[in-house]
Amino acid sequence: MKTKRGVWRIVIIMTALILSLSVVSVYADTGIIDIEALEALYGTDKSNSKVQYSEGLASFYLSYDMYGTYCSLGEVDLSQYDTMTIAYGCDTSCALTDGEQNYYFALTTNGPVQDEEGKLLDTANVIGTVDVKTPFMSWGADELEISIDSDYKGEVFLTAYVIYEQHNVIISDIYFTSQGDPTEVPTEAPTETPATETPSITEMQQATVAPTMKTNDANSDKTDDSFPVIPIIIVVVAIAIIFTVVAIIITKKKK
């Protein structure tokens, strides 16, 4: 009887340890950029990327469809982060290469990587880049990652090297991650914008370039509903293994 109690104590301790480790992985340092707040920067020297709201995507997004498009993400201490992740969408027919150069996103410290005529700027201070791939489905939410290896602390910009104008790529999520303590990434405060009509997801999927969708205040108080599926699966599998081992031990002792 004492042996059984000891085994169950070990099971409880190991289960608690696994759960605590999973919580650490889920709540690792995540600096989420408030895209809605970036709308206040449009038309200033900090951004020429429009922020709009999509009913189909159920989120605000940045539009990158013109040469020299860029947007300030605010003040960020890059020494705290390893990666910047971008959730993007575009039509599957979007032209992302001209045969020599690919469409790419870049994280910089001083604005765009190309001028308004599409020429590459040699003055851009680039932290990292990532090529944009043709998505499996039009206007989905595929992810790209830019690796960060920099001690820079200050204003950063997300810009794009656009191959052909009007071939729009939109960004619905931006966040920085690392293994440190949680740190919030500051952004400028949002301004009020008039509610306007937005097209349906069907209209979006039929378009060759991204549809024009205006901002909608009714959706400004949305929260992030992302769910940590992978860590939970790991925990469940680990617990199942532990109970299987314990059952085997108990069965052997009975024999």
- Contact of 134 with 94, CB cutoff 8 Å: yes
What confidence score (pLDDT) does residue 172 get? 92
160-189: per-residue pLDDT in tens?
999 999 898 999 999 999 865 444 455 544
What confidence score (pLDDT) does residue 252 get? 66
- DSSP letter at 220? T
Indicate the residue type of 61: Y
Whether the model pTM is above 0.75: no
Low-confidence ranges of the chain (pLDDT < 50): 13, 16-29, 181-184, 188-227
What confidence score (pLDDT) does residue 118 get? 93
For the chain, domain boundaries = 2-25+230-254, 33-224
Pick the CATH number of 33-224 from 3.40.720.10, 3.30.390.10, 2.60.120.260, 3.40.1550.10: 2.60.120.260
- Contact of 151 with 79, CB cutoff 8 Å: yes
Q: How far apart are CA 251 and CA 255, in angstroms?
A: 7
Q: Describe the crossing of helices 2-26 and 229-254 by its angle, rounded to 10 degrees.
A: 170
Indicate the residue type of 60: F
Percent of the chain with pLDDT over 70: 62
CA quadruple 79, 174, 167, 100: dihedral, nearest 10 = 30
Q: How far apart are CA 161 and CA 96, in angstroms?
A: 10
What confidence score (pLDDT) does residue 127 get? 97
